[in-house]
Structure 1
Amino acid sequence: MSHILLTLAPYQVLSYGTLLGTQVFHTFINSILSFKVLERPQFAILQRAVFPAYFGIQSAAPVLLALTYPGSKNPLGVASSLAGVFHPSNRWGVLAPLGTILVTGLVNLVYLLPETNKITALRREQEKKDGKASYEKGSHSEEMTALNKKFGQLHGISSLANLITVIATVAYGINLSSRLV
């Protein structure tokens, strides 16, 4: 039993499970339920607190997965860790999904999240000026309309990036599982 802990395999599986579990739970359960049961301002506060950790996991996990990639048991087979990830035979099943997860996670973490937070702050300021919440029905000031449009664009791109990240994670998992049979 203790010899298995000296291999990369358990760390690979635990890292993958953490990444996929976090993504599925946050994307398909936590966010949806939170939106349904919380008032809009509280939902926004929760999301602002959760997203840095969530996107941080999406950015760090592919690096950890690359470092713990378990190579072939055959000494002439694919190497472990980064050498295995960059092996030509792993270009599409390992490198492409891990690279996609890393890039989309980082785009969300370092660009889309800060930009969305800036627009959210500007919308709160505009709500005070207009005396009306950004999400209320009816017409809005030109400024709020522009801010709502920008927020919608950023949120849409972020959601698409997140969906691509989930798909890439599943694709990587399918490749990883093929090594178990």
Structure 2
Amino acid sequence: MGRATLITTAVVFLAIGVIFSPETFGSKSTTLSTYIKLAHLLGFSIAFGAALWVTFIGGIIMFKNLPRHQFGNLQSKMFPAYFSMVGVCIAVTVASFGYLHPWKTSSTSQRYQLGFLISALAFNLTNLFVFTPMTIEMMKQRHKVERENSIGEEVGWSKNVEVAKKNPKLAKMNKKFGMIHGLSSLANIMSFGSLAIHSWYLAGKLDL
């Protein structure tokens, strides 16, 4: 299925859900707060689901099955899009939550939740604008050195580690890349953790 088809299908199902919802049948008009709650739920669920998949499933599967340079090049295209999408979704989540719970009238728990959501957005934007560009640039430099040593087309790190023992330049690059990538991963985990905390809050509000 093409991208346009997938988007159209999603919009159709969303429209059906809105039309046949109890809110629609139970009242003459759907309140603005209902739409804002929907925006909050969709923004949060997309951000949380994407972060869960990329962090714990998709990235690991790709690393274990793709040649390392191919994996790195794919990640360099995917991560800017990933962090951009998640950033937009979290921004919608923050804005909708802030609208539904104004700071002056919100409870302590609601203020904490807004803080967690803002933290998730901050960590995500830090990744998008700081760590990801640094990681990609460092990766490209390291790929160049690895190609000069005829490595990088294998799956996994074994050849890199072996060559780095005899190549100080590559060893230095590995150390710098590891530091930057580690900070990026930490920021991603912190963002995901903040969203996970909000998921617990939302679960407590559900009436199933």
TM class, shorter-length: 0.7 to 0.9
User: What is the aligned length?
Assistant: 170
User: Which 5+ residue runs of structure 2 have no aligned equivalent?
Assistant: 1-22
Scaled by the length of structure 1, the TM-score of the pair is 0.82
**8 Å contact 2:117–2:195 — kept in the other structure?**
yes
Distance in 2 (CA, whole Å) between partners of 1:85 and 1:18 is 29
TM-score (norm 2): 0.73
Residue 144 of structure 1 pairs with residue 170 of structure 2: yes
Residue 55 of structure 1: which of 46, 63, 83 is its match? Answer: 83
SS of the residue 1:28 aligns to:
helix
Query: What does 1:1-181 correspond to in 2, within 5 Å?
Result: 1-2=23-24, 3-4=29-30, 6=32, 7=34, 8-69=36-97, 80=100, 83-84=102-103, 87=106, 89=108, 90-92=110-112, 94-129=113-148, 131-133=149-151, 135=157, 136=159, 137-138=161-162, 139-181=165-207
Asked if the contact 1:69/1:84 (under 8 Å) is kept, the reply is no
Task: Return the alpha-carbon distance in structure 2 between the equivalents of residues 95 and 44 of structure 1.
Answer: 35
Q: Larger Rg: 1 or 2?
A: 2
Contact conserved, 1:101 with 1:168, CA < 8 A, in 2? yes
Q: Deviations over 1:7-56 (max 9, x none)?
A: 21111111111111111111111111111121111111211111011111
